[in-house]
Homo-oligomer: A and B are copies of this chain.
């Protein structure tokens, strides 16, 4: 599959996910304050690649599950990713006014609501799969445990702290900050679909390398991308003196690493043969992305 097809596949799977999300948005939890739901939905709808849900769906499909069977998990992955963006953009954190070409959550709804909308998305991301997944209980517990682990002190939140402190290497930072949730996106799909430990391990290694590659590409785009194309402020990492792959290895060094980690990711899919062609081409596509 060419990278053109991967882009098409990503878009199609992303669009499928969005159609399901739209139905979900129209059906708010009973008793949820309108203003809060609006703020949560605003940031979910701002868009993006929907990479995490697509990874989860694609991984589950490898083992014969229909996308709808893992949709509650896919929704949860996008909810926590969105929560992390809302909190990252806060004045006390990265202080960003623009995300995907639109005003950030706190600019529209105020800081207090943005903090609470992020918290509510985190919490709802646990409720929704546990009440909606129609799969064996043991798989649900194992998938949700893995999901939770990718987020807390030794996952996404911990990575955000490392990023703030700027002492660790960009590999160490990105492993937690971006990598853990990308790994969990792929592995939870496999767990829910009943993959063997061996199969889960291969996909985990794919996700581990893909997550780092994803962050390298992000760091490169922060330097060479255009604000228009990315829909967010660029050059901020540099201004804030953050430890990025480009600041540590230079642009050429970062590009070389991006290629290496993408190759590594793809190598872990070999045992799946043609069935994994979408995940292979997705890695190649993300390597060459311009936004």
Contacts and interface: CB of A to CB of B under 8 A. Distances in A.
Contacts of A209: none
Interface string A117-140: 011101110110011000011101
A127 B112 contact: no
A148 B80 CA distance: 14
A120 B80 CA distance: 12
Interface stretch (A26-34, A46-54, A211-219): A26-34
A179 B41 CA distance: 25
Contacts of A111: 92
Interface of A is mostly: helix
A40 B40 CA distance: 25
A36, A156, A164, A176 pick with most chain B CB within 10 angstroms: A36
A87 interface: yes
Contacts of A131: 145, 149
A93 interface: yes
25 contacts: A31-B158, A32-B152, A33-B161, A36-B153, A92-B112, A93-B112, A113-B161, A115-B115, A116-B160, A116-B161, A116-B164, A122-B122, A123-B148, A123-B151, A123-B153, A123-B156, A124-B152, A126-B144, A126-B148, A127-B148, A127-B151, A130-B148, A136-B137, A137-B138, A140-B141
